[in-house]
């Protein structure tokens, strides 16, 4: 089993749709959680950190369930510019960042 798993995708949604991505991780010692966005042939860039209480940044909402070792990302009112691959990332204290395989999103006009 991979350390971080994500919905396989791709997700093809119309503009304005709400889309949710799921991620699970196997290392219960993981301490920090992130969602990164990666555009085609570009480097990953931080979208948002994920906090235990859940957090929101505009149209984006991240949730963390430590008991289930589950992370989610919700995108509301999706835009064409949201088309990208979304990477779930976990990090244990003093350890390296472990990336999931990514879920590709295409927002269609």
Phi, psi of 55 (to 5 degrees): -150, 155
Question: Shortest distance, CB of residue 9 to another protein, whole angstroms?
Answer: 10
Among residues 31, 54, 59, 79, the one that binds another protein under rule CB under 8 A = 31
Q: Which one of the spans 29-37, 55-63, 64-72, 74-82 is the region binding another protein (CB under 8 A)? A: 29-37
Per the structure block, which two tokens stand in for 55? 């957090």
Q: Which one of the spans 12-20, 42-50, 56-64, 69-77 is the region binding another protein (CB under 8 A)? A: 42-50
Which residues between 49 and 108 bind another protein (CB under 8 A)? 49, 87, 89, 91, 93-102
26 binds another protein (CB under 8 A): no
- Location of structure tokens 């301490």: 31
Per the structure block, which two tokens stand in for 104? 């590709």
Tally the C-alpha atoms within 13 A of residue 19's C-alpha that lie toward its C-beta: 24
Return the DSSP state at 2: -
């Amino acid at each position: 089993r991979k350390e971080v798993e994500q919905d396989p995708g791709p997700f093809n949604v119309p503009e304005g749709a709400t889309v949710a991505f799921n991620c699970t991780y196997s290392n219960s010692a993981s301490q920090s959680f992130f969602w990164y966005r990666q555009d085609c042939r570009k480097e990953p860039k931080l979208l948002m950190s994920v906090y235990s209480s859940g957090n929101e940044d505009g149209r984006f909402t991240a949730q963390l369930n430590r008991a289930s070792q589950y992370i989610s990302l919700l995108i509301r009112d999706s835009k064409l510019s949201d088309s990208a691959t979304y990477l779930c990332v976990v990090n244990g204290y003093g350890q390296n960042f472990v990336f999931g395989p990514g879920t590709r999103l295409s927002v269609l006009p």
